[in-house]
């Protein structure tokens, strides 16, 4: 559901703007997307910072929304006030923080299309508005990932090395995100964009690889192998192993050992 309350584009406030939900402006419990065409002061970690034209900020619901233009200067922007329960928007990785989009015209034109559609339809389940919004948020999420990827790349590499070396640890998305001091949603976006796989699927893949080695090179029981690879439940281990390899741990062990025996016999007979 995306319920557009108010929207507009290329609107100029001739005397500038000062928007503050703490002093009477409605919208504290709404989402607000702003795309600027003029310089404006937005909140940042360093306080109110003058941001250049073509800056985006997505204020979530129940957040103080405050921004203003330089005194005496006209101000132009695009904006959308809305309510939503769409997970793609709820999990946006950079809420309340201004950033530069990679393709300002793309952002502006999508906001324009959303505004046009909202004028002719007030239906929160309108599939056109939903698809346009998803395209916009997907593009902006990619921009955020690119913006922060270089900052977090060494930390992501270090995290992945630890996962591959020790997949048996009780990994969770919350645990991983805490090590990088970012939100779980932000971690998952960065991890997938960096390595082409979700962080938990990477854990599972590393666990299955470790299990395959233990099944082939040890005589440990199936339950013991699963436990050594981070599984507390043998049935869960067997299900995931079959999902990733197409066969049960027992079947894999038998086939792998038979193949190994054939290779040893061939080498003994031929030396090759």
Residue 162 to residue 104: CA distance in whole angstroms: 38
Would residue 178 count as lying in a domain?
no
pLDDT (tens digit per residue) in 179-213? 888 888 888 888 887 787 889 999 999 999 999 99
Domain boundary pick from 145, 164, 184: 145
* CATH number of the domain enclosing 233: 1.10.10.60
Nearest to 6 by CA among 127, 115, 129: 115
Would residue 12 count as lying in a domain?
yes
> CA Rg, the chain, in Å?
26
pLDDT (tens digit per residue) in 40-63? 999 887 789 999 999 999 999 999
pLDDT (tens digit per residue) in 9-48? 999 999 999 999 988 777 888 999 999 999 999 988 778 9
Domain carrying residue 17: 2-145
**Quick one: pLDDT band at residue 264, thresholds 50, 70, 90?**
low
Would residue 190 count as lying in a domain?
no
Residue 2 to residue 169: CA distance in whole angstroms: 40
Q: What is the DSSP letter of 218?
A: -
Would residue 80 count as lying in a domain?
yes
Backbone angles phi, psi at 233, to 5 degrees: -120, 120
* Res. 234: pLDDT tops 90: yes
What's the pLDDT at 271? Answer: 56
**8 Å CB contact between 261 and 269:** no
Judgement on whether residues 107 and 225 belong to the same structural domain of the protein: no
Mean pLDDT (whole number) for 221-250: 94
Residue with token string 């790349």: 153
Judgement on whether residues 248 and 140 belong to the same structural domain of the protein: no
Name residues whose C-beta falls within 8 Å of residue 86's C-beta, 6 or more positions apart in sequence: 1, 2, 130, 133, 134
Average pLDDT, the chain: 88
pLDDT, greater one: 176 or 125: 176
Would residue 218 count as lying in a domain?
yes
Mean pLDDT (whole number) for 141-158: 75
* CATH number of the domain enclosing 106: 2.60.120.280
pLDDT (tens digit per residue) in 106-142? 999 999 999 999 998 878 888 999 999 999 999 998 8
Q: Determine the straight-line distance between the first and last CA of the chain, rounded to whole angstroms.
A: 65
* Res. 272: pLDDT tops 70: no
Nearest to 29 by CA among 9, 56, 3: 3
* Res. 261: pLDDT tops 80: no
Judgement on whether residues 129 and 32 belong to the same structural domain of the protein: yes
Judgement on whether residues 137 and 216 belong to the same structural domain of the protein: no
Domain count for the chain, please give it: 2
What's the pLDDT at 99? Answer: 87
């Amino acid at each position: 559901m995306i319920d557009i309350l108010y929207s507009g584009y290329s609107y100029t406030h001739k005397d500038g703007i000062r928007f503050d939900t703490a002093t009477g402006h409605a919208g504290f419990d709404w989402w607000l997307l702003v795309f600027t065409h003029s310089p404006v002061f937005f909140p940042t970690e360093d306080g109110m910072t003058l941001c250049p034209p073509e800056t985006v900020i997505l204020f979530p619901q129940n957040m103080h929304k405050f921004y203003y233009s330089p005194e005496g200067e006209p101000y132009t922007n695009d904006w959308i006030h809305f309510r939503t329960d769409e997970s793609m928007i709820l999990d946006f990785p950079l809420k309340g923080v201004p950033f530069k989009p990679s393709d300002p015209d793309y952002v502006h034109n999508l906001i324009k299309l959303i505004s046009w559609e909202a004028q002719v339809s007030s239906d929160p389940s309108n599939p056109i508005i939903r698809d346009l919004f998803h395209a916009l948020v997907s593009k902006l999420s990619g921009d955020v990932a690119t913006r922060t990827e270089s900052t977090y790349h060494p930390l992501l590499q270090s995290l992945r090395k630890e996962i591959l070396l020790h997949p048996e640890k009780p990994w969770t998305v919350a645990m991983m995100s805490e090590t990088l001091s970012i939100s779980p949603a932000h971690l998952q976006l960065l991890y997938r964009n960096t390595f082409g796989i979700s962080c938990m699927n990477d854990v599972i893949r590393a666990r299955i690889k470790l299990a395959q080695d233990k099944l082939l090179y040890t005589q440990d029981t199936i339950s013991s192998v699963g436990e050594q690879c981070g599984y507390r439940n043998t049935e869960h281990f067997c299900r995931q192993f079959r999902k990733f390899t197409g066969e049960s741990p027992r079947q894999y062990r038998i086939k792998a050992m038979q193949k190994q025996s054939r290779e040893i016999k061939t080498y003994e007979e031929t030396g090759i």
